[in-house]
Every structure is written in structure tokens, then in C-alpha cells.
A and B are shown apart, each in its own frame.
Chain A
Amino acid sequence: MVGFNLSKEHLLQQQLYRKFAETEVKPKAADMDEAEKYDVSIMDKMAKFGMLSIPFPKEDGGAGADTLSYVLCIEELAKVDASTATACSVHTSLCTTAIGRFGTPEQKEKYYKPLASGKKYGCFGLTEPNAGTDAAGQQTVAVKEGDHYVLNGAKIFITNSGFSDIFLVFAMTDKSKGTKGISAFILEKGMPGFTIGKDIPRMGIRAASNCELAFENVIVPAENLMGREGEGFKIAMQTLDGGRIGVAAIALGIAQGAINETVKYVGERKQFGKRIAQFQNTQFKLAELQAKVDAARLLVWRAACAKDNHDPISVPAAMAKLVCSDVANETTRTCVQLFGGYGYSREYPVERMMRDAKITEIYEGTSEVQKMVISGAMKIK
């Protein structure tokens, strides 16, 4: 990225992402939301064209692009379907990135490369019924017995879990140590005692696969411990720092998508003998929203460029997520209002976007957590 302009490579990639989203995802978004079921053939197609491999090096089976390209992809997907953007984001910036960064050479060969090339799909299991923001309250336990660990417990709201092959799961190996007693494990679908429950009914991103996981005496080979015992919390937090850039891009895409739909609608809809685009209220509202969305986009790009430059990302990622998710909620709410009654109907996509926007203030760290990160860095105590 030079100045505030995208490079030619990024523009070409954006063209691919936009075309893919418009052609392959948009026509299915409303039906998937209605059916509350994800069409995994979209993941298969994204994999085919490298969209699940964007920031990973070519030698690992990745596409050889960067985080900026990845957020361009997520924005384009989220403009038409936040569920698809979420699926791509969790696979890429949570599961694959974490194993690529913290895995042993053997783990990278066995798990990271198939994930980075899009041959396998991944998810990230941290949240539990009683451990959300307070991730230290993990109740899933892993007990070492000889050359393996025995896992018992449950996870909830695990995105992509219905169709994933590889699961990054966090569990307590030493309860007495609090966050320093959490460890990370790589699990495979089909391990005896590991069951994937039903999708949890939700307000938004209803198409995304989001299930409960249950572990009942699951035998996990010791070589599937990622990092050392007790490093799980650090791994989770550092991974989530990067994941937040993806979530910020989802929120950004939802907002831009809602504006695009609204601009189209107000140009056609007539009231009082005028197109509603001709009313100054409509013009000013949309101008304000677009200015905010553009500002939010710069925060996302700044965080993505920081990651690509190996600069600290914690604060820029938290700021991007905090602002984008707020902008997404304000924007979608205003867009529904500009549509009027039709905006509230499920005939048009803005009501779905308004429902989808809410989760961006919650998952991968609530807005309150982002404020903790930012104020902490400002040393306000």
C-alpha cells in the first residue's frame, strides 16, 4: 500500500473478490439466512480460487498475498453476506494463522498446510457456556496420561464447526494456574468422544455454522499439544488480535453493503411525487454514513498494514473493530429507516444486514474488551 491508495495487485484482487461475491454468494445469501444453513459449496469454491489461502506463503500452499488483500476479500464478501465473510475469516485468521504461527514443524506439515491451501477447513474453540469474555474461566480440562491427553468438557458458539476438519481447542491443563494453566490442542473431526452438536439458533449471521462441541474422554495425542503447556491463553489472545482485523472488515463490509443497497433503492422509490434520493434528508444521511464508513475503512487498512509490516497490532486491531462494528450498527439501522417499511421486510437485504451487524460488537472480543485494550495501552488506570 502506497499512501492511501491500493496497489495494482490489490486492485486486481479486489476485482476478483467483488466478482466472486456478486456472482457466487449474493444470490444465495437470503435463502441461506432463511434456511439457517450454510451452503458449503461456497467454501469449496472459495478454496478453489485461493480465497481461503490469501495471506499464507506460496511454499505452504497459500496464495502468497497479504493481510491487506485478505481484508479486501472479507469486505467484499461481507457486503453481500456476513455469514460467508465470517466463515472465511475464522478459517483464515483464527485457525490457520494460529497453527502456522505456533505449530511445530510436524503440526504445520500435517494441519497448517492443508488449511493454508484450502484443502481442509478449520475452526477455533475457545468460548464455553460459562467462559466468554472471561476466557480464563475455562472448564474444559485436559489431563495428561502417558503419551496422550484426555479431554473433557464443552465449547459453544464455535463458527464453522459443522463442516470443519480441524479444530483448535483450548483446555485447562492446570486449573491452579488460571490463565497460565490453559493449553491449546489440535483436534480432528471424528476423534472418538468428540461430538459436534446442533447449530445454535441466532439473531444474525444465521447461515453461519455455529455449534456446540462436546468432549467426552477424547484421547488427543501429546504431539497435538500446540505450544507448551500453559501457553494456550497467550496463543488465543495473540491470535484474536489478528482475528479482530478480519471482524472489523466484516463490519465494514456489512456497512458498505447496506449503503450500496440503499443508494439503489432511494434512486427508485418514489414518495410525494419524487424519488426519495431527491430529499435532502436522504442525501445528507447517506453522505454522513459514507464518510464514516470510509474513515472506518482506513482503520482496517492501517491494522492490516501493521500486521503485514510485523508492527504491533493489538491497539490498531482493537480500534478498527470497535469503530467498524459501531459504524456497521449505526449504518444498517439508518439504512433500514431510509427504506421504511420495505427495509423492515425480509424482501430486501437491509434487515438481514442490521441483524448481522450486531454480532460484530460481540464476537472475537466485545466492544468493551476493545475499550479495555485501547485504554490499557493509553495507561489509563
Chain B
Amino acid sequence: MKIVVCIKQVPDTAEVKLDPKTNTLIRDGVPSIINPDDKAGIEVALRLKEQVGGTVTLVCMGPPQADVALREALAMGCDDAVLISGREFGGSDTLATSTIIAAGIKTLDYDVIITGRQAIDGDTAQVGPQIAEHLGIPQVSYAEELTADGDSLIVKRQFEDRYQKIRVKTPCLITALSEIAEPRYMTVGGTIDAYAKEIKVLGFEELKDKLNPEHIGLKGSPTNVVKSFTKQAKGAGEVLKDASADDAVKAIIAKMEEKHII
């Protein structure tokens, strides 16, 4: 099975600290990591390869510094890697990004594409599904389990209150939740192999017959950011235990009155 895994290099938001004086984010010196959902995607791809054989190819769009994220993933056991990188691609929103990544993937053979659900620096969850649309293949998002079954995949999708188990024929695209698999460590020998490998770099020149220059970069990005803000943290809430239905209704109405909702 030819497996492609899309990964993104992101700032480690767990390491981002607030400047106590200005209350702004300190971005300097924040380490870059492989996006956690994508790293889980790498792990599930490696397990799929162990189950049915095949290859795992990494695809990453980003600046040249993203090389280190690809080396880390290679050291976990992936077979090869492609870095999509070019100045023409800068300023891309999710639509332009997915357009460019899809063009890159068109240069590869694949049975399944695995992306993380979303990246911790943007939280849009749009790029994976958009890649599937550009390529015209089925997509299964929010996967928390994935196994191969002949030329199909069995995927368990997570919802807030239930799950769905579906069979999908390859080729297809899966977006993985971080719960899908605990990523393995690199191996020491793997780090040596990772730097012995050549990472293929695809720039605008290599992809230009697959891309419309109007659809990439800032020009190809219809998204306008009106405002960025930090989500207000919600309180833990109040849990009523062992209340009868009537008491629960009364308590909820009382709370809503208290907050002037009704």
C-alpha cells in the first residue's frame, strides 16, 4: 500500500508563554514541532505499513526550515519525504495551501493520504478535506481508528456523542485525530538513516503545469482575517448529581433566570 502522510511544522504552543508585563505571546525561541495530529497520522501510517506492507511518503509544505520536521518523521521509520517550498506559495490561506499540496501529491503514486485533523497554530481542519476535493477522492475525517481490509480501509470516525464505522475504498484521504495512535519515538539508527536520505523539494517551477498562479499565495487566498482573538476560557460548569428530572429542570430554569437568559 502506498501511503502519503501530510505533515505541518508548527510552533509548540505548549511552550508559548505570555509576557507577564505586556500580556502578549512570546514567540521568540519557541521550538517548532510536528503538528500533534499529523504525528499521530505518521504513527497510524507506519502501523498500516506494518500490517499490509508498502511505503510511507511524507509531504510537507513550508519554508526550508521544515526540513527538520521531515527528518524527524523519517527517523520514526517513514521511507521518503517531499518538501513543497517556494516564495510563490507564501501567504497562502487554507484554500491556496490545499491547492498547492494537492498539486504536489499529483506527482506521487498513492493509495491513501493521511492528514492530521487540524494544526494547533490555525485550528481550521480545512486543508485535509480540501486536498481530497482537489484530487476528487473520497475523504473520511475525524478518524480515531484505521485498519486495512483488502483494497478498503475500515475507519472509525469520532463524533461528540457517538462514532461511525465505515468502509472506504482506496484511493482515499483520511484526517486523523491525535487519539488514533500514540506516536513512537525515533530510533538512534533512524536518525542516521534520516540524514542519509535525500528530501525531494518541489517548488513553483516543478509544479507550475499543475497550478494556476492566480490560485496560490496571497492572490489565491480569499480568506480575510478580520480579527484574531483568544477564546475566553469557559468555567468548569456545575454538575448536578442524582437530581430527579423535575429537580433538574427547576435548577436549570433557576440558573437561567439568575443569568437573565430568560
Contact = CB atoms under 8 A, between A and B. Distances in A.
A19 B185 contact: yes
A8 interface: yes
A65 B188 CA distance: 7
Nearest to A54: B188
A9 B191 contact: yes
Interface string B182-221: 0001111111101100000000000000000000000000
A13 B75 CA distance: 9
The 9 closest A-B pairs by CB, nearest first: A50-B188, A63-B188, A63-B189, A50-B187, A64-B192, A16-B186, A12-B191, A49-B185, A50-B189
Given A8-B68, A12-B72, A49 B191 contact: no
Nearest to A46: B188
Contacts of A63: 187-189, 192
B71 interface: yes
22 contacts: A8-B68, A8-B195, A9-B191, A12-B71, A12-B194, A13-B188, A13-B191, A15-B186, A16-B191, A19-B185, A49-B185, A49-B187, A49-B188, A50-B188, A51-B188, A58-B192, A63-B188, A64-B188, A64-B189, A64-B192, A65-B192, A73-B188
Interface in B64-83: 68, 71-72, 75
B188 A20 contact: no
B68 A12 contact: yes
Counting chain A CB atoms within 10 Å of each CB, the highest count among B189, B190, B191, B195 belongs to: B191
A53 B187 CA distance: 10
Given A15-B72, A16-B75, A9 B192 contact: yes
A210 interface: no
Nearest to A52: B188
Contacts of A50: 187-190
Nearest to A9: B195
Interface of A: 8-9, 11-13, 15-16, 19-20, 48-51, 53-54, 58, 62-65, 69, 73
B185 A12 contact: no
B188 A53 contact: yes
Contacts of A11: 68
Contacts of B189: 50, 53, 58, 62-65
Contact of A69 (B72, B185, B188, B194): B188
B246 to A, nearest CB: 47
A354 to B, nearest CB: 29
A125 B190 CA distance: 33
Nearest to A50: B188
Contacts of B192: 9, 58, 63-65
Interface of B: 68, 71-72, 75, 185-192, 194-195
A69 B195 CA distance: 14
Counting chain B CB atoms within 10 Å of each CB, the highest count among A15, A20, A48 belongs to: A15
Contacts of B186: 12, 15-16, 49
A11 B191 CA distance: 10
Counting chain A CB atoms within 10 Å of each CB, the highest count among B75, B187, B194, B195 belongs to: B187
A60 to B, nearest CB: 12
Given A65-B188, A65-B191, 5 more contacts: A12-B75, A12-B186, A12-B191, A64-B189, A73-B188
Contacts of B187: 16, 48-50, 63
A206 B125 CA distance: 49
A19 B194 CA distance: 18
Contacts of B195: 8-9, 12
A204 to B, nearest CB: 28
Nearest to A53: B188
A66 B28 CA distance: 32
A217 B149 CA distance: 60
B178 to A, nearest CB: 16
A58 B186 CA distance: 16
A64 B189 CA distance: 6
B53 to A, nearest CB: 22
Contacts of B185: 16, 19-20, 49
Contacts of B72: 12, 15
A63 B188 CA distance: 6
A17 to B, nearest CB: 9
A54 B190 CA distance: 11
B170 to A, nearest CB: 31
B29 to A, nearest CB: 15
A58 B193 CA distance: 11
A16 B183 CA distance: 12
A12 B75 CA distance: 9
Nearest to A19: B185
A130 to B, nearest CB: 40
Contacts of B188: 13, 16, 49-51, 53-54, 63-65, 69, 73
A20 B68 CA distance: 19
B40 to A, nearest CB: 15
Contacts of A12: 68, 71-72, 75, 186, 191, 194-195
